[in-house]
């Protein structure tokens, strides 16, 4: 088996080509000198001088042809090595090599700006990841730690120098890498225990698959939300209790002073009966308040069954006697839900809309439609719109005289128990409010 003969390099081909191009001239010169010159020695000397000069010029031409290419090679090598500071000089437009040098200079500037931008974004990303209170851990293709942020160091109770290179199994994180996408877990880590949200994502680096693990501590957030919820609830409870206990305490003091007077005034019986009636009324109001609280706290889980939603909507609308509720039969839909609970939620929303409409234009409408495999129910009124407060869904908070403050809360609790959502927003086409319920169809 014969091998392929080695090819001449570019410089040798330039040299050979130039010499070959000059050979006919040298041959012609030799023939002319042999014919016209009588002194052969002189002819040989002249021909050798011309041949030497020709060879010298050929080497100069070779150098001039190769030198710019070597310069271009050096520039490209610098780009490959990541050195974008080198520039080709004395390049000009209209020259073939100059055009190439100018384009390489432009490419070098572009790459330099891109690397600077990339490094700035990388530095920003590194700072963001470092300041997160969420544990971020990256694993390579062999499930070994490649990156950890300070929150992950705290979670695993170790330093990055000790964590890098260790396997997920060694760190007891193998089960976290088996999470499909997102999962809530309750477990213990070296740096703490409680409820955690585990997220897993995949990315590629150098063509190899890597794993990104994000672990969020939900216990602290839930505790903070629970604390704020208790603060709001206790604030409303305290307000309601004070509204009942303050007159009871005041009237009890008044009756105590009245009965201590000797002799008793002639109308003391009327005063005592009036005071006791007031105390009884406030005690009854307090009992109703506690009954509403019990109703809210003991809502049973939904008992779903299939029913026709239109019939439920018409029945809930007819229960509002103070105002006519316009029902728009948008689409016939069968829903799987707890009929009694959903009816109670609609009654509460319609009652709130009617209360608002009685102070406004006096119109309430109930309409529904199917959107993205979800049932959208809108209860629309033309009242004065939402009050400027964030406590609409706080239990026992109300802006209406004699209101219970649980209608909206109970309605949202029922809707969310069915996997849906309840929102309130002001109308855009007119004054009033829209209570929107979104329920899944499956």
> Does the residue 412 lie in any domain?
yes
pLDDT for 396-405, tens place per residue?
A: 555 555 555 6
Which residues have C-beta within 8 Å of that of residue 51, sequence separation ≥ 6? 26
**For residue 152, how far is the Cα from the chain centroid?**
20
CB 317 within 8 A of CB 365: no
Stretch (H or E) spanning 227: helix 218-260
Instruction: Look at 9 and 211; give whichever has higher pLDDT.
Output: 211
- Virtual torsion, Cα 418, 220, 240, 340, nearest 10 deg: 10
Q: Do residues 104 and 76 touch, judged by C-beta distance below 8 A?
A: yes
Q: Please list, in sequence order, all residues whose beta carbon lies within 8 angstroms of the beta carbon of residue 202, skipping any fewer than 6 positions away.
A: 209, 210, 211, 212
Q: Phi and psi of 268, rounded to 5°? A: -65, -30
The residue among 297, 316, 340 that closes a domain is: 297
Residue 113 falls inside a structural domain: no
Total tally of structural domains belonging to the chain: 4
Residue 43 or residue 425, greater confidence: 425
Q: Do 341 and 429 belong together in one domain? A: yes
Residue 160's pLDDT is 87
Distance CA 75, CA 83 (A): 9
Tokens of 147: 């990156």
| Residue 307 β-bridge partners | 335
State the DSSP string of 369-399: EEETTEEEEEEEE-SS---S-S-TTSTT--S
Q: What CA–CA distance (Å, rounded) separates 150 from 346?
A: 49
Q: What is the CATH number of the domain that holds 426?
A: 3.30.565.10
Backbone angles phi, psi at 41, to 5 degrees: -65, -40
Region 174-199: what's the mean pLDDT? 83
Residues 132 and 212 in one domain: yes
Sorted by sequence, the CB contacts under 8 Å of residue 359 that are 6+ apart come out as 383, 384
Q: Are residues 248 and 208 in the same domain?
A: no
**Full domain range(s) for residue 418:** 305-440
Q: How far is CA 4 from CA 11, 16, 231, in A?
A: 20, 21, 88
- List, for residues 22-32, the tens digit of each pLDDT value: 888 878 877 77
% residues pLDDT > 90 (the chain): 2
Could you give phi then psi for residue 9, rounded to 5 degrees? Answer: -75, 175
Name which residue leads in pLDDT, 370 or 91.
Answer: 370
Q: Is 177 exposed, middle or buried (0-12, 13-18, 19+ CB in 10 A)?
A: middle
Cα 234 from chain centroid? Answer: 33
106 within a domain of the structure (yes/no): no
pLDDT tens figures, 126-169: 888 888 888 899 999 888 999 899 988 888 888 888 899 999 88
Picking from 1-15, 190-204, 324-338, which range would have the lowest pLDDT averaged per residue? 1-15
Same domain, 141 and 184: yes
Adjacent-strand bridge partners of 306: 336
Residues 273 and 331 placed together within one structural domain of the fold: no
Q: CA end-to-end span of the chain, whole Å?
A: 73
Q: How far is Cα 418 from Cα 338, in angstroms, rounded to an integer? A: 8
244 and 320 co-located in one domain: no
pLDDT of 39-90, one tens digit each?
Answer: 778 777 888 888 888 888 888 888 888 888 888 888 888 888 888 787 877 7
Q: Is residue 432 part of a domain?
A: yes
Confidence (pLDDT) at 52: 86
Q: Are 411 and 422 in contact (CB under 8 A)?
A: yes
Report the chain's C-alpha Rg in angstroms. 45
Statement: the pTM of the whole predicted model exceeds 0.85: no
Q: What is the pLDDT of residue 288?
A: 67
Instruction: Say what percent of the chain tops pLDDT 70.
Output: 84
Q: Mean pLDDT across the stretch 84-99?
A: 80
In this predicted structure, the answer to whether residue 355 has a pLDDT above a threshold of 80 is yes
Q: Are 358 and 434 in contact (CB under 8 A)?
A: no
SS3 291: helix
Average pLDDT of 254-259? 74
Residues 40 and 143 both lie in one domain: no
Residue 228 is assigned to a structural domain of this protein:
yes
Of 58, 80, 102, which one is at a domain's C-terminal end? 80
The pLDDT score that the predictor gives to residue 250 is 77
Per-residue pLDDT of 323-334, as tens digits, reads 888 888 777 888
Task: Assign residue 174 the CATH number of its domain.
Answer: 3.30.450.20
One domain for residues 317 and 419 = yes
The dihedrals phi and psi of 216, each to the nearest 5 degrees, come to -115, 130
Q: What is the arithmetic mean of pLDDT over 187-208?
A: 84
Is residue 1 very low, low, confident or very high in pLDDT (cuts 50, 70, 90)?
A: very low
Contact predicate 183/198, CB 8 Å: yes
Same domain for 210 and 153? yes
170 shares a domain with 51: no
**Average pLDDT for residues 423-438, to the nearest whole number?**
86
Q: How many C-alpha atoms does 335 have within 13 Å on its Cβ side?
A: 29
Cβ atoms of residues 185 and 195 within 8 Å: yes
Choose one of 297, 327, 360: the last residue of a domain: 297
pLDDT exceeds 60 at position 335: yes
Mean pLDDT for the chain overall:
80
> Hey, what long-range contacts does 129-133 have (CB within 8 A, 24 or more apart)?
133/217
- Inside any domain, residue 418: yes
Structure tokens, 373: 């495999």
At 232 the pLDDT is 65
Does 262 lie in the same domain as 184? no
Same domain, 420 and 337: yes
pLDDT reading at 203 higher than 80: yes
Residues sharing a CB contact under 8 Å with residue 93, sequence separation 6 or more, in sequence order: 99, 102
């Amino acid at each position: 088996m014969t091998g392929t003969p080695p090819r001449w390099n570019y410089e040798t081909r330039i040299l050979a080509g130039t010499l070959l191009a000059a050979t006919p001239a040298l041959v012609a010169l030799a023939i002319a000198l042999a014919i016209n010159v009588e002194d052969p020695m002189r002819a040989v000397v002249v021909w050798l001088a011309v041949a030497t000069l020709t060879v010298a010029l050929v080497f100069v031409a070779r150098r001039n042809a190769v030198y710019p290419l070597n310069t271009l090679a050096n520039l490209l090598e610098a780009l490959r090595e990541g050195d974008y500071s080198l520039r080709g000089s004395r390049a000009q437009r209209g020259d073939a090599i100059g055009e190439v040098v100018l384009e390489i200079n432009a490419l070098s500037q572009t790459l330099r700006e891109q690397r600077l931008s990339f490094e700035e974004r990388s530095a920003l990303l590194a700072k963001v990841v470092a300041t997160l209170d969420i544990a971020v851990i990256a694993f390579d293709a062999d499930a070994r730690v490649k990156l950890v942020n300070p929150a992950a160091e705290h979670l695993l109770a170790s330093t990055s120098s000790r964590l890098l290179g260790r396997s997920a199994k060694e760190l007891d994180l193998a089960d976290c890498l088996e999470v499909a996408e997102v999962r809530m877990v309750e477990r213990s880590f070296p740096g703490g225990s409680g409820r955690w949200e585990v997220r897993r994502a995949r990315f590629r680096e150098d063509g190899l698959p890597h794993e990104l693990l994000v672990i969020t501590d939900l216990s602290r957030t839930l505790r903070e939300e629970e604390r704020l919820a208790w603060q709001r609830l206790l604030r409303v409870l305290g307000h309601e209790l004070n509204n009942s206990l303050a007159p009871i305490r005041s009237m009890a003091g008044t009756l105590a002073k009245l009965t201590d007077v000797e002799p008793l005034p002639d109308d003391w019986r009327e005063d005592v009966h009036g005071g006791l009636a007031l105390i009884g009324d406030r005690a009854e109001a307090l009992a109703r308040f506690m009954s509403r609280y019990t109703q809210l706290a003991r809502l049973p889980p939904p008992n779903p069954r299939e029913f026709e939603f239109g019939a439920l909507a018409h029945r809930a609308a007819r229960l509002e006697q103070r105002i006519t509720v316009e029902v728009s039969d948008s689409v016939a839909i069968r829903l799987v839900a707890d009929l009694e609970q959903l009816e109670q939620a609609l009654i509460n929303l319609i009652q709130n809309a009617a209360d608002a409409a009685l102070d406004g234009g006096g119109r309430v409408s109930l309409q529904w439609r199917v959107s993205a495999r979800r049932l959208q129910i809108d209860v629309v009124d033309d009242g004065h719109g939402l009050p400027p407060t964030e406590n609409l869904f706080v239990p026992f908070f109300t802006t209406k005289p004699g209101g219970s403050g649980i209608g909206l809360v109970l309605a949202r609790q029922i809707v969310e128990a069915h996997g849906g959502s309840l929102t309130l927003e002001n109308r855009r086409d007119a004054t009033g409010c829209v209570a929107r319920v979104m329920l899944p169809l499956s």
